[in-house]
Amino acid sequence: MSRERKATYGNLQELACELRLSEAAYSRAMEIAGLSPDRPTWRRYVDLFLTLVGTALILAGIAAFFAWNWADLSRFHKFALIQTGILAAAVAAWRFGLDSLVGKASLFAMAFLVGTLLAVYGQVYQTGADPYGLFLTWALLILPLCLIGRQWGLWLLFAVLLNLTVIMYYTQVLHPPDGWWQLSQVLGPLVWLGTTVADSTLASYLFALNVLVLVVWEVDASRGVGWMQGRAFPNLIALAAFATVLPPSLIMIVAGGAFTQHVSLSFVSPVLLAITTLVCLWYYRVKRRDLFILTLCLLSLILVVTSLVLRHLVEGTGSLLFVAILLIAQLSAAAWWLRTIARGWERPA
């Protein structure tokens, strides 16, 4: 008896290879299966791409404009220009509707300009407030926009601001940087942000924040909220959660106590990583199917196992060859398991 399988790009490609279909036959199969995008679909994706890119360029241009003309602009002109932009974005969101593409882009631009207004206010009046206060105030001010906007882009901005608030508060108030950690600030903001999660205490705070956001999102999505059914937001938040507890865990394995004098390393990060990996492997395979988060779990396991092997191996060419073989075996096993899971999901119940 033939087994029915859902028509997907992967299944059609596999079938085309087995039957050695011509390009015309493969294109016809794509059309029959409804996987070949038509002209309206292409137009919709092009509109989405151009709108998002245009919004990002406009916002970047506004920031560059103020940075370049800061000395030539009066206090009145600075606030007038930003507030005019916020008002124009609000009018556009109201005019086109919050559910339209232009309305969503305008609402996001409005939320971004609120942060620009706060930054300009702090520079003009030199309030002396700590940067974490800026990010926290920004997050609180755009919270109503997130609630009425019903788009994951605004909630992602809100989550990023909360993460930056926790990082800034910890590094400026609770645990000011010193030594190599302070040197990382000179190398740039991205390097500095990457080194902050080397501290297990800060990593635990960030992990708890992102996991809380992820749980709230998944609970609401499971209740059938329409605009929360996409997987981009939970995938990014899950990536952030793993990225906070994985680095300190790997540092503990590879470096041991070499960093304990500079940052707070403890077993809380490996424990959180292990619990999260096990829970996600069960939940996102059985309850909420998500190959991306399953891939994150397997990647974390591969990095931990490889780090443990590297820590206890004796130096030499043979050891490096063994690690290379082990890494290839782990990647192959992970790919096979993910492919098996994906095929199992495609079978009808």
pLDDT tens-place string over residues 275-312: 999 999 999 998 888 899 999 999 999 999 988 888 77
Residue 261 is predicted with a pLDDT of: 47
The closest of 133, 142, 136 to 109, measured between CA atoms, is: 142
Exposed, middle or buried by CB within 10 Å (0-12, 13-18, 19+), for 55?
buried
The length of the chain is 349
Who has greater pLDDT, 172 or 23? 172
Average pLDDT estimate for 247-252: 84
What does the pLDDT read at residue 180? 47
% of the chain with per-residue pLDDT over 90: 25
Domain ranges across the chain: 195-349
DSSP 3: P
pLDDT of residue 123: 77
Residue 288 DSSP symbol: S
Residue-wise pLDDT tens digits, 133-147: 889 999 999 999 999
Buried b (16+ CB within 10 A) or exposed e, 60-80: eebeeebeeeeeebeeeebee
> Which amino acid, 58?
I
Query: In this structure, what are the phi and psi dihedrals at residue 73, rounded to the nearest 5 degrees?
Result: -95, 140
Q: What is the pLDDT of residue 1?
A: 37
* Start-to-end C-alpha separation, the chain: 16
Kindly list the distances between the CA atom of residue 247 and the CA atoms of 1, 195, 329, 333, in Å, as whole numbers in the listed order: 50, 9, 23, 23
Q: Quick one: average pLDDT of 63-70?
A: 76
Q: Which two tokens stand for residue 140?
A: 């609180």
What pLDDT is attached to residue 33? 59
CB neighbour class for 59 (10 Å; exposed up to 12, middle 13-18, buried from 19): middle
For residues 121 and 138, give the distance between their C-alpha atoms in angstroms, rounded to a whole number: 12
Q: Specify the pLDDT at position 248.
A: 84
pLDDT digits (tens, 9 = 90+) for 92-114: 889 888 888 888 888 988 998 89
Tokens of 258: 């070499």
- Structure token digits, residue 118: 């706060």
Q: Which amino acid is at 293?
A: I
Residues 6+ apart with CB under 8 A from 313: 319, 322, 323
Residue 56 confidence (pLDDT): 80
pLDDT on residue 212: 94
Q: Is 127 left (phi over 0), alpha (psi -120 to 50) or beta?
A: alpha
pLDDT at 331 over 80: yes
pLDDT band for position 334 (50/70/90)? very high
Summarised one tens digit per residue, pLDDT across range 168-187 is: 888 777 766 655 455 445 44
pLDDT exceeds cutoff 60 at 320 = yes
DSSP string, 55-115: HHHHHHHHHHHHHHSTTTS-HHHHHHHHHHHHHHHHHHHHHH-TTSHHHHHHHHHHHHHHH
Q: What is the CA radius of gyration of the chain?
A: 25
% the chain with pLDDT above 70:
75
Q: How far is CA 313 from CA 97, 246, 304, 307, in A?
A: 61, 21, 14, 10
CA torsion 318-324-327-333 (nearest 10°) is -100
Identify which has the larger pLDDT, 118 or 130. Answer: 118
Q: Please state the rounded mean pLDDT for residues 204-219.
A: 92
Question: How many angstroms separate the CA atoms of 292 and 232, rounded?
Answer: 10
82-93 pLDDT, tens digit each? 888 889 989 988
More confident residue, 348 or 339: 339
